[in-house]
Amino acid sequence: MNKICNYIVLFCSLSGVFGSEPRYSSRFEYDEQMLEKMIRMEIDYEKWEKRIDEQVNKMVQTMESLESFVENKVIQVQEETENAIRNYESRFNASLGALRDTDKEQATALPDVLFRARGVVDHTLVVNQTMVFSEVMYNIGDGYDSASGIFRTPVNGTYLFNVHLCQYKGHSIFYAIVANGVTVSSGLSYENSGYVCISGEVVIKLNENDTVYVKSLHDDVQLLRTALSSLYSYGIKAQTFSGVLIR
């Protein structure tokens, strides 16, 4: 770097000397003038060298300051990131603990609601006829009415309902699970030559005093009436309707 600067200064000085070289009366005068110019060049060179050194020192100081700034900034960002991660983990664990406590409270407060009934009153059904399952196996919460075949929800919550039906040989089944007058699940088995059984279920969120029941969607729906064998009371067990509060 210093050599390049020396060349630049020398070139600029000599250009000024020889670009407009005057005539001298003697060799001595010429040598004297050249000596003065060389002295001035030396002085100029020293000034340029000093200025260049100052600029280089400033650049070095700037680079050192920049490196120090970047290093401090990296450390700061790392510390902020670590603090943010710790805060996030703390909030997440607190939220998770609160959620678990809420689930425990809800599980503790959740009442038992459960029913299961079997054996239909009418085995030959017409369209929109409610299937009445008359034999109540259990009715915790007293939501199911065996006279009407309608389940009325005793509390708000999410319920699971299941229906299982077996058709009479050569006939069809078209059914729907209905909640508050709206079909929420349906199924069918059409004119099978054998004794075919079908099942359906639905999970639905309901409010207190909502109604759920099973109905026929077609005329001349024929359900299995009697046992297939004297060893089994299959006709009664084949038709079931059940429900349970799950949340």
Supply the pLDDT for residue 85: 78
**Looking at the domain that runs over 114-245, which CATH code has it been given?**
2.60.120.40
- Condensed to tens digits (0 to 9), the pLDDT of residues 121-167 reads 888 889 999 999 999 999 999 999 999 999 999 999 999 999 998 88
Domain definitions of the chain by residue range: 2-107, 114-245
The better pLDDT of the pair 172, 59 is held by: 59
The pLDDT tens digits of the residues spanning 83-131 come to 877 887 788 788 888 887 776 666 556 788 999 999 888 888 899 999 9
Tell me which DSSP letter residue 21 carries.
P
- For 181-206, the pLDDT digits (tens) are 999 999 887 766 667 788 899 999 99
CB atoms within 10 A of CB 207: 10
End-to-end CA distance of the chain: 82
Token pair in block for residue 55: 């600029």
Q: With residue 204 as reference, give the H or E element that holds it.
A: strand 197-206
